[in-house]
Chains A and B, each alone.
Chain A
Amino acid sequence: MTIRPTVLAGFAIQALQANKMRSFLTMLGVIIGVGAVIVMMAIGQGTQNQVLSRINQLGANRLTVMAGAQGGPPGRTTSAGNPLTLSDVEDISQLSFVKAVAPTVRGSVVATQGNHTWNTGITGTTPEMADISSLVLQSGRFFNQADLKAASPVAVLGQTAYENLFSYGVDPVGSQIRLQGISFRVIGLLRPVGATAGSDQDDVIYIPVTTAQIRLLGTSNQLVNAITVEVQDQAYMDRVQADITSLLRKKHRLTEAQEDDFRIMNNAQIQEQVESVTGTLTLFLAAVAGISLVVGGIGIMNIMLVSVTERTREIGVRMAIGASKRDILAQFLLEAVLMSLGGSLIGILLGMVATEVFAMVTTWPVAISLSSVLLAVGTASIIGIFFGFYPARHAANLNPAQALSYE
C-alpha cells in the first residue's frame, strides 16, 4: 500500500502555505500569462466575429457578377468587353442551384426633398433584391413586380439617405422626393445596416431597374452594372460560379486563349479569406501572450529548484521514514502543478475582468471563447508538469544519507 493521493495533496498544499508570499509571486507569472492569453484571444475572436457577421449580412451564399476583366496591367488590351444584360440575368436564373437573381444598375443622383439636397447613389434592381440582400424595412414596403413592369417612380430609402433628406422623426413613406428633378414617391424606409469596408451601406436609394433605365439614367434598357446571384446552399457556390463562367464565356464567344471579360465575387471565398486572416491574427496574439505564460513557467521551475535545495534535509527525513522516489517526485510535481493551475484560475478571472473593462473603455468588439479558457488552463497545466518535473526529479534522485547530512 502506498501513500494516499489526498494525503500527498495535503503535503503539497501545506508546503505552499508555508511560504505564502513566495507561492503567490511565483503564481503571478502564470496569472499574468493566462490573463494576457484570455484578453488577446478575446480581442482577436471579437474582431473576427464582427467582420464575419458583416459579411453574413451581405449574404454568404451570394455571388456578384460584374462586367469588365479582372485586374490585369493597365493598357493591356483585353477581349471585346461585352457588357452584362438583362438576358444574362434571365439565363443565370435558369441554372441549377440558383435560388434568385437580381440585376443592379447604379448611378449617382442629386436627391431633393423640400429644402434638403443630398448627393447619393441609386440602385436600380428587381423585387428579388430585397430577399437576396436581406433588406429589412423599418416602415412601408419594397417595390413589387407591378412597379417593375410599370416602371413606376417609386423609391425605397436607406437610413443615411433618409436622414439627409428628411427632418428627424418624420415618416417619409408617402412623401415625394426628386431625383435629378424627377418626382418619386417614397414607399419604404430600410433599417440601418452599418458600414462595410469603409463604405456606408445605408447611403442608398433603391428604385425599380426599369425605372432607372428608362426614366432616370437614360441608358440602354438592357445593360446592367452587376448581377447578384443567391445560391441555394453555400456548398454549391463553386459549382454555380463555374456554371456562370462557362455560360457567359459561351454567350460572349470567348476563345480558350481569351480571359474572362467579367468578374465574379464569391462571398464564401471572401469569408474564408477573412476567417483565415483574423484566425492568424488571433493565433499571433495568443502566441505573444503565450510567451509570458512560458516565462511564468520558468519562474515556477526556478522557485521549485530553490525550494528543493532549501528542503534537502526534509527530503532526507521523508526518505528515511519511508518515502519512495515516486512519493517525493509526486509531492514536488504536485506543488508545481498546483501553483500553475491556481495561477491559471486566477488568471482566467482577471483576464475576463480585464476584457470587459477593455471592451467598455474602447468599445472594441470582444468575445471570450470557451476554447481560449481551455487553451489557457491546458497550457498552464502542461507548463506546471513540464517545468515542475526537472526540480521534482532532482529531489527524488537525492541520496537519503547525503540529503540528511546536507547543511
Chain B
Amino acid sequence: MSTVDQVPLIQCRGITKVYPLSGVEVHALRGVDLNIAQGEMVAIMGASGSGKSTLMNILGCMDRQTGGSYLLEGIDVSTLDDSQLATLRNRKLGFVFQRYNLLARSTALHNVELPLFYAGFSPAEAKKEALLALEQVGLRDLAGHRPNQMSGGQQQRVAIARAVVNHPLVLLADEPTGALDTVSSVEIMQLFQRMHNERGVTVIIVTHEPNIADFCPRKVVMRDGVVVSDDNPSGSHRTMEEA
C-alpha cells in the first residue's frame, strides 16, 4: 500500500526536548518518531503537557530539538543557521495560533502583507497578493479593519490568510479553535479543509478536542512526550479513496 520510494515531507527520529526550568530539567519530548507525507492533513492530539505544542514549535522551526533528527524535505534542519531558519519559516511554513497573534495596530491587509514584505515584495506586489489571500478567506471587504474591529472568527481567518499568503508547503496550527465558539470553530476547520484541498498544502493541527481532530484524516496522539497512537505511522501518502 505504501510508496516506499517517496521521501516523506517531514521525518522525525527520536526527537527529544529538555527545558532547564529553575534548576530542574523538564523533559517535554522523550523521543518522538513521526513521518508526515506531502499533502496530508494531520491532527496531533493530547492532553496539556503531553508535549504537542513543543513538537509543533520544533516542526515549525521556531525552536531547536535537544536530541534526535528532524528532516524537512530531506534536509536536516539542525544544520541550518538562524537566518536560514527564518527564510524557511517565511517560504515553506505558515503558522496559525490559538490567539490569532495579529499586530493590533495594523489593518487586516497589513497583517497579511507582512510575510510578503519579509520575502522582499514591493508594497504594490504585496498588496495585490494579500488581497487575493483575503479574498480566499472571504474577508476582502474587511481589508481596512483592525483586529479590534473584527470577531474572533474573522481574526482567525485573517491569520489563516497571513499563513498561506506565501504559498507554504506546510500549514501549522496550534489550537486554532481554542478561543472560538462552536460555529466559528467549524467554519475555521472547513477553511483548513478547503486550503488543504484547493492548494494541496500539508496541514498539521494541534488540538485536544476530538470533534476538531475528526476533520483530519489522520490522528496522532501524544502522551508524556511520546507518540502513543498513530493512524498511519509509515507517513506514506494515503489518498482519500484509500482511507
Contacts and interface: CB of A to CB of B under 8 A. Distances in A.
B123 A320 contact: no
Contacts of B119: 1, 322
A321 B120 contact: no
Main secondary structure, interface of A, reads: helix
A323 B57 CA distance: 16
B207 to A, nearest CB: 17
Nearest to A320: B95
A181 B225 CA distance: 120
B211 interface: no
A126 B120 CA distance: 82
Q: What is the interface residue range for chain A against chain B?
A: 20 to 34
A214 interface: no
Given A1-B120, A313-B101, A400-B63, A321 B57 contact: no
A215 B115 CA distance: 100
A251 interface: no
B79 interface: no
B144 to A, nearest CB: 15
B62 A323 contact: no
A399 interface: yes
Contact of A322 (B57, B82, B101, B115): B115
Interface stretch (A82-90, A109-117, A253-261, A324-332): A324-332
Given A399-B63, A400-B62, A3 B120 contact: yes
Contact of B82 (A4, A313, A325): A325
B117 A401 contact: no
Contacts, number: 73
Contacts of B89: 319-322, 400
A317 interface: yes
A265 to B, nearest CB: 69
B62 A325 contact: no
A321 B105 contact: no
Contacts of A70: none
Nearest to A1: B120
B82 A321 contact: no
A322 B62 contact: no
B239 interface: no
A129 to B, nearest CB: 75
A321 B95 CA distance: 7
Contacts of B90: 321-323
Interface in B39-91: 57, 60, 62-63, 82-83, 86-87, 89-91
A307 B76 CA distance: 36
A321 B61 CA distance: 11
Interface of B: 57, 60, 62-63, 82-83, 86-87, 89-91, 95, 97, 101-103, 105-106, 114-115, 117-120, 122-123, 162-163, 166
14 contacts: A2-B118, A4-B120, A7-B123, A18-B105, A313-B101, A320-B60, A322-B89, A322-B90, A322-B118, A324-B82, A324-B83, A325-B83, A400-B63, A404-B101
